Amino acid sequence: MMNKEQYLASLRKLKPVIYCNGRKIESVVDDPMTRPHVNSAAMTYELAHDPEYNDLVVATSSLTGREINRFTHLHQSTDDLVKKVKMLRMIGQKTGTCFQRCVGLDALNATYIVTHKVDKECGTSYHERFVKYMQEVQEQDLMIAGSMTDVKGDRSKKPGQQADPDLFVHIVERRDDGIVVRGAKAHQTGMVNSHEMLILPTTNLGPEDKDYAVACAIPVDAPGVVHIFGRQTNDGRRLQGDIDTGNAEYAIVGGETLTVLNDVFVPWERVFMCGEYQYAQEYVETFAAYHRQNYGGCKVGVADVIIGATAAMAEYNGVPNVSHIKDKLIEMIHLAETMYNCSIACSAEGHKTEAGSYYVDTLLANTVKLNCTRFMYEISRLAHDIAGGFIATLPYEADYKAPETRPYIEKYFAANPRIPTEHRIRMARLLENMTGGTALAESMHGAGSPQAMRVMLYRETNLEHKKKLARKLAKIEQ
């Protein structure tokens, strides 16, 4: 298992093409725009070497019997699934943001299950190939970006019906030694500081969309790959100091990219689906269920920090014991723990798949994420209520540091006399960072927009069974 320093060194060896704000990023480790995201992901490496978290972050490989980082593990029991959630909550508490590595973990586990099924039903040999790849991922402790979401163009149209065929990633050439793919993946979390990306389809497909049924692994710096780094709320503040960024060490969400694949060659040993369109939907749903499981872990870790910051703000403002404040804090705790409950439940109710790995209860996993699309907003709303308007109107850090204005800010933003004004400002900036713009949009759309979960809830619920229960009690004969 790599430690933090080894992870940073491994990133320095890669040469991805990354554009950000009109320039190229030469080193993701050293560039101020990407370094906070690197720090967040590095936590997943660092904690694997901390004896306190060994049980959560270290697992035993089902493929080699060796110790591996849990972010490269194929889940072997419901206990593994539960530990994943606990690990995510714990790291969310330490970073206060997205630490990115779960997307690849979920893509790997989904691919393991789906390749097994495709091989069994189609006589292909993707699974064996994937197992070899998985061993590499585990042995080298790679960070994998989970690359599902295509740019999708006109949302009412299937891939082959789009005005531009490249709006979904597709195979443009099949060769003796591999395939060539073209298209782009959007919103790619942790991409610039991953080692490889695992491409998978984004939607259900028909026979006319065979070329869009593609899964493969591609190094982030493969020829033809171009990353365009996404802008986040207040990210320019990173270049101006540390107070105004709120969480200077770890930033906001996962440092997403638009990743363009300009005729990228992929050797056959890295291709895990090539034309089996009938399995695209199951692939998407399997990945999505694993990914939705996470939100009651990582986002609850983040919510723990928001709740702590909100309680601190109440104290700094001098109103910690006011009844409506306590009530609102209780509500925030309730919402956070409800999300956590759902994640634990979908893990504990998981089951063994035919491939031998463990999979979550999909109905419950979709409940987790649907709750998250609402509860993180409500938690943030309550945090804003308690923190006060100055999280929206605070002066610049530069003015706080300037001799002409600092005395005024010190004097007029003082509240509880036991608390230095700077603490009140720092806590407000942390809350501003964690409860606005980009951070909330991730809770809404990450792992799918709410409607995607609603569709799954309707599909996974046995309404006929429920109607039967009701008819029986109402003494209605069919």
Helix 362-387 × helix 421-435 angle, to 10°: 140
Contact call for residue 189 and ligand FAD (CB under 6 A): yes
Q: 104 in helix, strand or coil?
A: helix
Reading the block at residue 183, the tokens are 């298209």
Q: Which of 152, 326, 406, 423 binds ligand FAD (CB under 6 A)?
A: 152
Q: Does 188 bind ligand FAD (CB under 6 A)?
A: yes
Catalytic site residue from 274, 298, 346, 372:
298
Q: Closest CB to ligand FAD among 436 and 448?
A: 448
Binding segment toward ligand FAD, per CB under 6 A, in 128-136, 174-182, 183-191, 410-418: 183-191
Q: Is 122 a catalytic residue?
A: no
CB 106 within 8 A of CB 290: yes
Q: Please identify which residue in the block is written with the tokens 């497909």.
A: 205
The number of residues that bind ligand FAD (CB under 6 A) is 22
Structure tokens at 76: 């072997």
The residue behind tokens 């586990």 is 109
Interface residue with ligand FAD, options 253, 266, 274, 379 (CB under 6 A): 253
256 binds ligand FAD (CB under 6 A): yes
Exposure on the CB side of residue 59, measured as CA atoms within 13 A: 25
Cβ atoms 354, 117 nearer than 8 A? yes
Q: Which of 189, 245, 362, 373 is catalytic?
A: 189
- Shortest distance in whole angstroms from residue 446 CB to ligand FAD: 4
Residue 279 annotated to the active site: no
Q: Is the dihedral of CA 261, 294, 57, 308 positive or negative?
A: positive
**Smallest gap from residue 475 Cβ to ligand FAD (A):** 41
Which residue is listed with tokens 């040999």? Answer: 125
Is residue 102 part of the annotated active site? The answer reads: yes
Q: For 394, which DSSP code?
A: P
Long-range contacts made by residues 167-170, C-beta under 8 angstroms, separation at least 24?
A: 168/202, 168/203, 168/209, 168/212, 169/199, 169/212, 169/214, 169/261, 170/211, 170/212, 170/214
Stretch that binds ligand FAD, among 88-96, 214-222, 448-456, 462-470 (CB under 6 A): 448-456
Q: Which of 21, 60, 64, 449 binds ligand FAD (CB under 6 A)?
A: 449
Is residue 146 near ligand FAD by the rule CB under 6 A? yes
Residues forming the site for ligand FAD (CB under 6 A): 103, 146-149, 152, 155-156, 187-189, 253-254, 256, 441-442, 445-449, 451
Active site residues: 98, 102, 189, 256, 291, 295, 298, 442
